């Protein structure tokens, strides 16, 4: 009971300090990177941009979008950008209907959506650029075990319900040096439909197709079992039990244990760099137009400097906008997001992984093509 | 309270009496204040109907895509079956609310009786005030408290129930911590609706005719017999109404359930097993954030079902009240 109280206090203190740190660095980033940022905007449009720009979409990148809109407004006081985290599907829908000028989405636009985008894009077409990379951590709470290592088939077995005890031989094989307790495993999943679940199940079905037969899905496919609402809810459920295991955005793991994943022959701890490298090493999706940067995440990478359990969120924008003001504004905002400064600001605010320089440069080149109609 | 029914009305008629009786009616009707006031009150009354109708129409229109493409209407086996989708949610919603009522009503009646008939005045007043205060606490606070504090403390009780009374279907199944199950959710709901039921019931019990109570005592009835023969029969319809208020709150409760329950979609009776039940409101809240338009239409349809359901339950309650007051 005392331990729990202390933990709560620690969590509260952590939350408080991170809020303070966040607000501090938000202001700092706005003022310090002011020079370089407005240079970017200047080179894109000739002047600093102004006007109002509304976007909507995925909630995964919400805190990053918060940092971007705030910093962008600080750099361009005449401009105002808003982001409504309504979810990927609803965001894409609003974007294609012309309700918002850009969308954030956890899965890239589908072919038919790109075909459909001609109306919203003045006869042009929409394209995606990656803006947000976040490693997904397999989090657990198991008293006495601090250094858990897991292979994909074991994780799949645990979440599919075929491995039910911590002293299961499969887990012991992954952790030869650990002493595992005789305790029931309580897997915890997301109760809302989410991009995190989709990427996690995609990882499982790519690496352990025999143990995980449910495919890559947004909504948890198995009835029953423990679950939590949104990332924070899941984390609190995992924290509330003993022998619990779940999956969540790595930056939200708090003081829970994070399992090392088996990549190739080694067990890899998640790092933002390894996550970004996994995205860079993955092939591009085929059949995409030039400048439409969509990554076909390779979950089965064997290079131990990569961490393939990762979520990529995209920005969907038009290549043609009705007027020069909107085109310049979208161009300036998108350039800022994928610029190293923008990526750094997001990494500070949201704790995600920044795009690698190559990917950032490539995304900038795509965004340069945005133009006004006529 | 002790005065007869006829007396209170006479003083109210007194003030206009000095004027000539024939002209009073005509003159009072013409006063602008009266016209404005009656207009306002009629308007507010109609506004309720209008709001209800608008909500109903909104729900119907927005859920129409889901109804139209459902398996029931199209006959297409691949389409989503609305009945199959909604039925477990309705079951979970009703189960949670009924369990909560089952726990809350007896305790609420007890508290109300204590405040109205047993507690000394110096205790009754602050206690009544406290209950009113509790009734105003937002449900998200109850949810947080329930999830963080209460649920871990219920663990030993639930393990005990499962171990010793597991042969009752209600307490059967496999039980594992954390206790994010229907039992926890209904306990939190019960705590949440307790103040509102208590507050209303207490008001009703205080209305019990003093003369009748004194008559019962004079006939040699004990305190308990007085309550049994006078207070409870008098307050019965009030208790039912109060319970319905609580039931309404429990049926529509979102945050408290969302934060305490690990949902599932079954018709299981096992309230101690996690991932078995879900309620309509919590389901809407957890799925609306990333909903595609067709999922959204389906969620709104569940909202429509809840709306209609609340109506039906209220109608049943009214029927019960009118029957008990007649007999």
Report ipTM (2 d.p.). 0.70
Q: Which among B68, B103, B129 is the end of a domain?
A: B68
Can you give the CATH number for the domain in which B294 is found? 1.10.3720.10
Task: Map tokens 């950008």 to a residue.
Answer: A81
Per the domain annotation, does B272 fall within a domain?
A: yes
Residue of B nearest to A230 (CA): B286
pLDDT one-digit tens code per residue, A121-171: 988 899 999 999 999 999 999 988 888 999 999 999 999 999 999 999 999
How far apart are alpha carbons B35 and B43 in whole angstroms? 12
Domain with CATH 3.40.190.10 in chain A: 3-134+311-372, 136-278
Is-contact B104 B164, C-beta < 8 A? Answer: no
Q: What are A365's two structure tokens?
A: 């080149």
How far apart are alpha carbons A268 and A150 in whole angstroms? 10
B298 and B181, same structural domain? yes
A184: which chain B residues are within 8 Å (Cβ-Cβ)? 176
Mean pLDDT of chain A: 85
| Closest-CA distance of chain A to residue B127, Å | 30
Nearest to A88 among B275, B290, B295 (CB): B290
- Tens-of-pLDDT digits for all 327 residues of chain B? 344 444 444 444 444 444 444 555 555 556 888 889 999 999 999 999 999 999 999 999 999 999 988 888 888 888 888 899 999 999 999 999 999 999 999 999 999 999 998 889 899 999 989 988 888 888 888 888 888 888 888 889 999 999 899 888 888 888 877 888 999 999 999 999 999 999 999 999 999 999 999 999 999 989 899 999 999 988 988 898 899 889 988 998 888 888 888 888 889 888 888 888 999 999 998 888 777 788 889 999 999 999 998 888 888 878 877 776 655
B237 and B215, same structural domain? yes
B88 and B46, same structural domain? no
8 Å CB contact of B265 and A229: no
CATH class of A3-134+311-372: alpha beta
Per the domain annotation, does B6 fall within a domain?
A: no
Domain containing B298 equals 81-326
SS3 call for A323: coil
SS3 call for A22: helix
8 Å CB contact of A87 and B291: yes
User: How many domains is chain B built from?
Assistant: 2
Look at chain A and count its residues: 374
Strand partners for B38: none
How far apart are alpha carbons A91 and A85 in whole angstroms? 8
Any CB–CB contact under 8 A between A343 and chain B? no
B259 and B282, same structural domain? yes
Nearest to B275 among A4, A88, A225 (CB): A225
Per the domain annotation, does B13 fall within a domain?
A: no
B184 and B296, same structural domain? yes
- Domain made up of A136-278: CATH architecture: 3-Layer(aba) Sandwich (3.40)
B262 and B293, same structural domain? yes
| Closest-CA distance of chain A to residue B303, Å | 17
Any CB–CB contact under 8 A between A62 and chain B? no
Nearest to A191 among B263, B273, B292 (CB): B263
Is-contact B262 B181, C-beta < 8 A? Answer: yes
B305 and B245, same structural domain? yes
């Amino acid at each position: 009971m005392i331990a729990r109280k202390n933990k709560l206090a620690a969590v509260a203190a952590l939350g408080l300090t991170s809020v303070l740190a966040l607000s501090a660095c938000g202001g700092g980033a706005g003022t310090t990177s002011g020079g370089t940022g407005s240079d970017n905007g200047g080179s894109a449009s000739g002047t600093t941009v102004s006007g109002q720009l509304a976007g909507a979409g995925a909630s995964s990148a919400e805190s990053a979008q918060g940092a971007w809109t705030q910093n962008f407004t600080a750099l361009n006081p005449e401009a105002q950008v808003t982001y409504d985290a309504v979810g990927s599907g609803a965001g894409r829908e609003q974007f294609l209907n012309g309700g918002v000028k850009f969308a954030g989405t956890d899965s890239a636009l589908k072919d038919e959506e790109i075909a459909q985008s001609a109306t919203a894009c003045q006869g042009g077409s929409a394209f995606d650029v990656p803006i947000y990379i976040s490693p997904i951590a397999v989090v657990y709470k198991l008293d006495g075990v601090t250094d858990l290592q897991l292979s994909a088939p074991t994780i799949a077995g645990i979440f599919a319900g075929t491995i039910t005890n911590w002293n299961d031989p499969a887990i012991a094989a992954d952790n030869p040096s650990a002493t595992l307790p005789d305790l029931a495993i309580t897997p915890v999943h997301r109760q809302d439909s989410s991009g995190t679940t989709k990427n996690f199940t995609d990882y499982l079905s790519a690496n352990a197709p025999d143990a995980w037969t449910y495919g890559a899905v947004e909504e948890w496919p198995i009835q029953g079992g423990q679950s939590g609402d949104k990332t924070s809810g899941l984390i609190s459920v995992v924290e509330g039990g003993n022998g619990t295991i779940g999956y969540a955005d790595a930056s939200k793991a708090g003081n829970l244990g994070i399992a090392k994943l088996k990549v190739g022959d080694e067990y890899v701890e998640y790092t933002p760099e390894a996550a970004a490298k996994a995205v860079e090493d993955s092939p591009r999706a085929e059949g995409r137009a030039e400048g439409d940067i969509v990554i076909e995440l390779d979950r089965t990478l064997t290079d131990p400097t990569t961490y393939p359990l990762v979520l990529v969120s995209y920005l969907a924008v038009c290549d043609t906008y009705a007027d020069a003001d909107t085109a310049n504004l979208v161009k300036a905002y998108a350039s800022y997001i994928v610029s190293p400064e923008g990526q750094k600001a997001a990494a500070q605010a949201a704790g995600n992984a920044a795009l690698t320089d190559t990917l950032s440069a490539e995304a900038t080149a795509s965004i340069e093509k945005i133009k006004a109609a006529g | 309270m002790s005065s007869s029914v006829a007396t209170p009305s006479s003083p109210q008629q007194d003030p206009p009496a000095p004027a000539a009786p024939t002209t009073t009616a005509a003159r009072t009707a013409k006063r602008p204040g009266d016209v404005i006031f009656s207009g306002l009150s009629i308007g507010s009354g109609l506004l309720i109907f209008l709001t209800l109708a608008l909500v109903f129409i909104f729900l119907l229109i927005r859920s129409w895509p889901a109804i139209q493409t459902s398996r029931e209407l199209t006959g297409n086996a691949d389409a989503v079956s609305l009945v199959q989708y909604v039925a477990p949610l309705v079951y979970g919603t009703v189960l949670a609310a009924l369990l909560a009522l089952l726990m809350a009503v007896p305790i609420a009646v007890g508290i109300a009786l204590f405040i109205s008939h047993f507690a000394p005045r110096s205790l009754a007043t602050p206690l009544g005030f406290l209950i009113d205060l509790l009734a105003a606490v937002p449900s998200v606070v109850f949810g947080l408290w329930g999830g963080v504090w209460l649920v871990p403390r219920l663990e030993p009780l639930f393990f005990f129930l499962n171990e010793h009374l597991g042969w009752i279907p209600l307490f059967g199944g496999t039980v594992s911590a954390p206790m994010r199950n229907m039992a926890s959710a209904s306990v939190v709901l019960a705590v949440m609706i307790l103040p509102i039921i208590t507050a209303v019931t207490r008001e009703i019990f205080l209305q019990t005719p003093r003369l009748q109570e004194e008559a019962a005592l004079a006939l040699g009835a004990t305190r308990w017999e007085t309550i049994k023969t006078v207070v409870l029969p008098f307050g019965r319809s009030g208790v039912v109404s109060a319970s319905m208020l609580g039931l309404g709150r429990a049926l529509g409760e979102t945050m408290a359930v969302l934060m305490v329950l690990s949902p599932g979609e079954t018709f299981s009776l096992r309230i101690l097993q996690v991932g078995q039940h879900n309620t309509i409101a919590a389901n809407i809240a957890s799925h609306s954030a990333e909903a595609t338009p067709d999922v959204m239409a389906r969620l709104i349809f569940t909202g429509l079902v809840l709306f209609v359901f609340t109506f039906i339950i209220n109608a049943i309650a009214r029927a019960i009240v009118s029957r008990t007051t007649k007999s």
